[in-house]
């Protein structure tokens, strides 16, 4: 089962450049969360900081009552074993076949026999639908298959937290849809806590239980999917509607002159589209973490926007 990740006041800089500061959020145990944001807002840096590959300047990352930035290298190594990571390109070794790529963490970090390794690798390849591709090299398979092979490797040590760094990068809409369904199914099978960094709006609208948005060095919002998909915040509406009008510009943050020109032109942010139905596991068993949008609004004393839920 997954574990919760608590982030408090996290700040990261490179020299004088502030990547983001005072970020606080909680990734609920066993749920799927998505992190959105314009290019260059430090979403991948956030993933690397969560897993301990980068040290924050300030703040805490709480997992199992341990604060990652304060841990020794030995303790940090132990905590990292809770994580699995799917990198953008799968990060497969080009000279190894798919079987050896997936087996690599088992051979490096466990004392399992080769018979045990074969059993685990076969199980994980089956979970991602790659049975029969074991002996192919990464260069001999499609981009979508490489993503799934990377996912099998991320799963091989049975992590409790899985990080996805733009899993849909380079994939066409059909393969992205298949990958999204696979993510939903794996979340149900493993019970792990998932965090997905993505630019794909359809993924953000249909896959997660929770959504966050990084903008201009801060976390603009984080909360249940329904909260962001019905938000009136300009940066959220602009991003989810893929509009030029709003606070986000080519350099991420528009200056006062640009915003004033937009105001004078009379252009306005359009309304958000209706909230789509959340993807469900292939076996149709309801997701344990799913919230009904109307119930969420009622619990938080918020009037549902007209026509927003269906």
Say how far apart CA 95 and CA 48 lie, in whole Å.
26
- Distance from C-alpha of 88 to C-alpha of 36, rounded to nearest angstrom: 15
Q: What is the pLDDT of residue 219?
A: 93
Beta strands at 193-197 and 32-36: parallel, antiparallel or unpaired: parallel
Q: Is residue 269 a contact partner of residue 259, using CB atoms and an 8 Å limit? A: no
CA gap 269, 263 in Å, rounded: 11
pLDDT at 310: 29
- pTM (two decimals): 0.84
The dihedrals phi and psi of 19, each to the nearest 5 degrees, come to -80, -50
How far apart CA 19 and CA 28 sit, in angstroms, is: 24
Q: pLDDT value at position 79?
A: 92
Question: Which pLDDT score is estimated for 251?
Answer: 54
User: Can you give the pLDDT at residue 258?
Assistant: 58
The predicted structure's pLDDT at residue 192: 97
CA-CA distances (angstroms) from residue 71 to 67, 77, 95, 115?
A: 7, 9, 35, 35
pLDDT of residue 37: 84
At residue 303, the pLDDT reads: 47
| pLDDT on residue 273 | 76
What strands lie across the sheet with 58-63, from one edge to the other? 17-27, 5-14, 58-63, 66-67
pLDDT values of the chain reduced to their tens digit, one per residue, 310 residues: 789 999 999 999 999 999 999 999 999 999 999 999 887 888 999 999 999 999 999 999 999 999 999 999 999 989 999 999 998 776 889 899 999 999 999 999 999 999 999 999 999 999 999 988 999 999 999 888 999 999 999 999 999 999 999 998 888 889 899 999 999 999 999 999 999 999 888 899 999 999 999 988 899 889 999 988 888 887 777 777 776 666 665 555 655 565 455 455 656 666 777 888 899 998 755 554 444 444 444 544 444 444 333 2
* The total number of residues written for the chain in this structure: 310
Contact criterion met (CB below 8 Å) for 56 and 49: yes
| CATH code for the structural domain at 5-82+159-225 | 3.40.50.300
- Token pair 């992190």 is at which residue? 35
DSSP assignments along the chain, one per residue:
----EEEEEEEEEETTEEEEEEEEEEE-TT-EEEEE--TTSSHHHHHHHHTTSS--SEEEEEETTEEGGGS-HHHHHHHHTTEEEE-TT----TTS-HHHHHHHHHHHH----HHHHHHHHHHHHHHTT-TT-TT--GGGS-HHHHHHHHHHHHHTT--SEEEEESTTTT--HHHHHHHHHHHHHHHHHH--EEEEE---HHHHHHS-SEEEEEETTEEEEEEEHHHHHT---HHHHHHHHT-SSSS--TTSS--HHHHHHHHHHT--PPPPPPBPPPP--TT-PPPTT---HHHHHHHTT-PPPTT-B-
């Amino acid at each position: 089962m997954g574990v919760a990740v608590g982030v408090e006041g996290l700040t990261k800089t490179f020299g004088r450049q502030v990547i983001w500061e005072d970020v606080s959020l909680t990734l609920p145990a066993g749920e799927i969360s998505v992190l959105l944001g314009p290019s260059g807002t430090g979403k991948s840096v956030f993933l690397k900081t969560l897993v301990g590959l980068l040290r924050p300047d300030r703040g805490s990352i709480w997992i199992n009552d341990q604060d990652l930035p304060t841990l020794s290298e030995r303790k940090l190594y132990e905590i990292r074993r809770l994580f699995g990571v799917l990198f953008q390109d799968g990060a497969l070794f080009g000279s190894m076949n798919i079987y050896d790529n997936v087996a690599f963490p088992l051979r490096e970090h466990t004392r399992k026999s080769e018979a045990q390794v074969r059993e685990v690798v076969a199980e994980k390849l089956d979970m991602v639908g790659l049975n029969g591709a074991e002996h192919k090299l990464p260069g001999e398979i499609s981009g979508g298959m490489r993503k799934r092979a990377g996912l099998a490797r991320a799963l091989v040590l049975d992590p409790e937290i899985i990080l996805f760094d733009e899993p849909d990068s380079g994939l066409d809409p059909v393969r992205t849809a298949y990958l999204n369904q696979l993510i939903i199914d794996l979340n149900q099978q493993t019970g792990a806590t998932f965090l997905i960094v993505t630019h794909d709006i359809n993924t953000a609208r249909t896959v997660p239980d929770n959504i966050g948005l990084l903008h201009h060095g801060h976390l603009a919002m984080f909360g249940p999917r329904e909260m962001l998909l019905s938000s009136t915040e300009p940066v959220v509406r602009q991003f989810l509607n893929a509009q030029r009008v709003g606070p986000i510009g080519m350099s991420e943050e528009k200056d006062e002159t640009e915003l004033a020109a937009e105001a004078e032109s009379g252009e306005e942010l359009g309304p958000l589209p209706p909230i789509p139905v959340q993807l469900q596991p292939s076996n149709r068993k309801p997701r344990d973490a799913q919230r009904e949008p109307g119930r969420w609004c009622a619990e938080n004393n918020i009037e549902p926007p007209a026509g927003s839920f269906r």
